[in-house]
Structure 1
Amino acid sequence: MTTQQNQLEQLPTIVVGAGMTGLAAAWELQQRGVPYVLLEAGDYFGGKVQSEPTEDGFLVEKAADAFILGKPWALELAHEVGLREELIHPREDTKKLYFLRGGQLLDFPQNLKMFVPLDDESFLQSGVLSPEGLKRMLDEQHVPPKPPTDEDESLASFITRRFGEEAMNFIVPLAAGIYVANPHELSMKAAFPQFLALEQKYGSVIAGSRATPRAQGPIFGSFRGGMSTLANAVAEKLTGDVRLNTPVLAVHPDGVTVAGGEKIAGSGVILTTPAWYAAPMLRQSFPKASALVGELKANGSVAVILAYREGQFPRDMHLHGLQVAADEGIHMKAITVHSAKMHGRAPEGHVLVRVFFKELEPQTACAEAVREVERLFGAQGEPLWHAYADWRGKNPAYQVGHLEHLARIRAALPPNVRVAGASYTGVGIPDCVNAGRTAARDVVAALGVAG
């Protein structure tokens, strides 16, 4: 082994960003015995994952309130850091969901797998589309599959092609809502490859979903103390060089430059910040990659959190919430009744709701949220307090051709420099955990370091 290789092995791998992707990358490096430095510009761990207890006994989630268990990576990490006993699931006794269409709160269809009806009869009785729209959506079972191709398509194209144009009003809130996305731009290959695979394998998304056994047990998980529990538990077990309040200005092939001008030498760099922060960091040493990362677009959302006393509602608020039809003509996209969805999110006798909007100024969103909760659920009087989660311009947008664009970004970087995280390969917490650990393994392999 050369002297240069020895020196590279002794230098740490630098992880930029301590959101879930960066924490998972650092954890993976630690598990492999690879030295690392974790640098975070802010003063807390977890990135967008923020759980904030209030003085009056509520627990506010600023972003994700749960993670999907069908993708195993977040649950595996939770077990590794000792959180097995802290895991909770959405309440089954309050599992009531509505669909807002034409100003009416309709019972959400039963027996769905995401947006796919698993039996015809209950879906036809649901009223979430016109009778013709419901029938056309079920007729997807008889629509021939698209010839196999590597060509990407938008969610809107896929829905219209397979389920009919009216189905957009039901499917878009459930599918594009995850990404706060424009369905005419959202990439199927990047966001929903499983549905493309079902079409090719079974000739129909509905037929394929019905032929695939449903997973037993809960679909989602969270933690007693909120989603930040996972980020904080990983951070507490990291034994490497971890630095908060340390913004990175530039990424180089052999390290990074931080605010103040200090150069930290490293054998590799894993850049886990969102694309809009990552592009400027790459500009000096990797101008082509920087330009490509800078072309990635983002969408915006605002969540308004409202606290009430139970007595302010004339009706039972033990329900999970509602989804809004895409053509309803209002700014609001969904409501989650967090106090009923999860245990421990509000004191006894109180109601906590989260009301979701796309790009909307927070104060305007707050006023609309209060009006909608009054209109739809009969809330009397003002909320006890309100809070915002302002993610305008901060939700990654996987546009058609995203995977090909990502391949060009990776090709423009050396093997020991990786970009990873929600801007690239999935916005959910399991996806971010997987992205971080995968990037760590890739850099270790590129360096030829035993680990």
Structure 2
Amino acid sequence: MTQRPVIVVGGGMTGLAAAWELQSQGVPYVLLEAGDNLGGKVQTLHTEDGFLVERAADAFILGKPYALELAREVGLEPELIHPRPETKRLYFLKGGRLLDFPRELKMFVPLDDDAFRESGVLSPEGTERFLAEVDVPPKAPTDEDESLASFMSRRFGEEALNFIVPMAAGIYVANPHELSMQAAFPQFLKMEQDHGSLIRGSRATPRAQGPIFGSFRDGMNALPQAVAARLTGDIRLKTRVAQVRPDGVRLEGGTELRGRAVLVTVPAWHAAPMLAAHFPDAAARVGELNANGSVAVTLAYRADQIPFDMNTHGLQVDASEGIAMTAVTVHSSKLAGRAPEGAVLLRVFFKNTDPQEAVRLAPKEVARLFGAQGEPLHHFVADWRGQNPAYRVGHLKRVAGIQAALPEQVRVAGASFTGVGIPDCVNAGRVAARAVVGQLG
């Protein structure tokens, strides 16, 4: 008798990783994707004149090994590249001026007091309060969650948020007063308890050797493409799931597929209605998870249009600057092969902004900050409004409640639940698949 498959709902990085794990363990599976391509938000565009445009992530962190491990397994490691160290310079936009980013930082934590003082990213008073973090006693151990804003202002002072938020909350496109420390930055909570101070802990912890980030020669989409090319199971595109059932799924149109288990790897806003008919409690809990929005505009220029030295990875914007723009990444300097010789490629990030307004503002900001002249050669818009998972305070308890409200053979996994980065999504898919295999015996 043929074994019923495990059904994987969603063909983003989490779903692909889950399918790969099932295949590696010899478990039959069906992967169902509503769209006409795999990879989810990991999308790379190539223009005829030689630009490589990323719509979402342009790299992944190597400190979490899961994406690199998957790349090795699917034969993609020879295509791995790293940000160029010679163009590593960063700027901080404050008061309309581009300041050099502080030297000797580990994320946002200074390893050298004098270098931080010289940077001018905070007022003299704010700088001294920031550095006095070493004298702030740790909070008593507790299971209670805390927001990023509460934690950072408690340890580094109120003004420090203007400097920390663009880096820390920017990863999650989040409101710092809502973002959960337990879900987003548990390493800092642990460091506070272990060392009594983030500055002390960062200086006591050896820096990782080698590059911190990786990407691929042909863009980030190379990873989902490589995984998909190695999958031998039943992959169905343009197949939308209407209901998740205890024994499978029901597709739009009424067709039912029976499975031994179901892994739901789509974002929360798609998962909730799928679960509603048979798992109303879980669906209601999933529906309580929030999302934030962002828009990114990628601009291409001839190098002679920009008089500024663009050998930089980009800039972060002080949180108090009062503008919609949050950051700029100079892809042509950051990573090899992103623009043809004699050209510059930048991505300008905005808060939850109307895409047409973002397209209007992006060249104006590039002209104001870098002196760009004339119209860009290209512009591309990535509209992620309402599509960035928001980990509010108490997020981990909510996620535990969701899984507890589902039977063992039905699992949710992915960026809405346990981490937004590509390594997090890969790990989430593989962990969910292993749990199902273990439960199936």
TM-score normalised by the chain length of structure 2: 0.99
Matched residues in 2 for 1:18 and 1:135: separation?
A: 49
Matched residues in 1 for 2:410 and 2:205: separation?
A: 39
Q: Which residue of 2 aligns with 1:236?
A: 229
Residues 368-415 of structure 1, C-alpha deviations (whole Å, 9 max, x = no match): 111000000000001112110000000000000000011100100011
Q: Which residue of 1 aligns with 2:68?
A: 75
**Partner amino acid for 2:349?**
F
Matched residues in 2 for 1:311 and 1:61: separation?
A: 23
Q: Secondary structure at the match of 1:242?
A: strand
Please give the residue correspondences for 1:42-81 in structure 2 after superposition, counting only pairs within 5 Å: 42-81=35-74
Matched residues in 1 for 2:109 and 2:22: separation?
A: 39
Quote the offset at 1:316 in angstroms: 1.8
Aligned counterpart in structure 2 of residue 21 of structure 1, from 14, 29, 32: 14
Quote the offset at 1:315 in angstroms: 2.0
**Partner amino acid for 1:193?**
P
- Greater mean deviation of Cα atoms: 119-128 or 421-430: 119-128
Residues 203-224 of structure 1, C-alpha deviations (whole Å, 9 max, x = no match): 0111111111110000000000
Matched residues in 2 for 1:93 and 1:403: separation?
A: 40
**Partner amino acid for 1:274?**
P
Q: Secondary structure at the match of 1:125?
A: helix
Aligned counterpart in structure 1 of residue 390 of structure 2, from 397, 404, 409: 397
Matched residues in 2 for 1:203 and 1:88: separation?
A: 37
**Partner amino acid for 2:352?**
E
**Partner amino acid for 2:334?**
K
Q: Which residue of 1 aligns with 2:120?
A: 127
Instruction: Find runs of 4+ consecutive structure 1 residues off by over 4 angstroms.
Output: none
Please give the residue correspondences for 1:16-415 in structure 2 after superposition, counting only pairs within 5 Å: 16-415=9-408
Quote the offset at 1:366 in angstroms: 1.0
Q: Secondary structure at the match of 1:41?
A: coil
Matched residues in 2 for 1:176 and 1:128: separation?
A: 17
Quote the offset at 1:93 in angstroms: 1.3
**Partner amino acid for 1:314?**
P
Give me the CA root mean square deviation: 0.8
Matched residues in 1 for 2:376 and 2:419: separation?
A: 35
Matched residues in 2 for 1:348 and 1:130: separation?
A: 40
Matched residues in 1 for 2:72 and 2:294: separation?
A: 31
% identical aligned pairs: 72
Matched residues in 2 for 1:358 and 1:446: separation?
A: 42
Matched residues in 2 for 1:130 and 1:105: separation?
A: 15
Q: Secondary structure at the match of 1:150?
A: coil
Q: Secondary structure at the match of 2:86?
A: coil
Structure 2 unaligned residues grouped into runs of 5+ = none
Matched residues in 1 for 2:264 and 2:17: separation?
A: 12
Matched residues in 2 for 1:191 and 1:106: separation?
A: 28
**Partner amino acid for 1:423?**
S
Quote the offset at 1:445 in angstroms: 1.1
**Partner amino acid for 2:303?**
E
For these two proteins, the number of residue pairs brought into alignment is 441
**Partner amino acid for 1:209?**
S
Quote the offset at 1:259 in angstroms: 1.9
Matched residues in 2 for 1:51 and 1:110: separation?
A: 32
Residues 32-67 of structure 1, C-alpha deviations (whole Å, 9 max, x = no match): 000000000011111000011011110110000000
Matched residues in 1 for 2:385 and 2:77: separation?
A: 34
TM-score normalised by the chain length of structure 1: 0.97
**Partner amino acid for 1:56?**
D
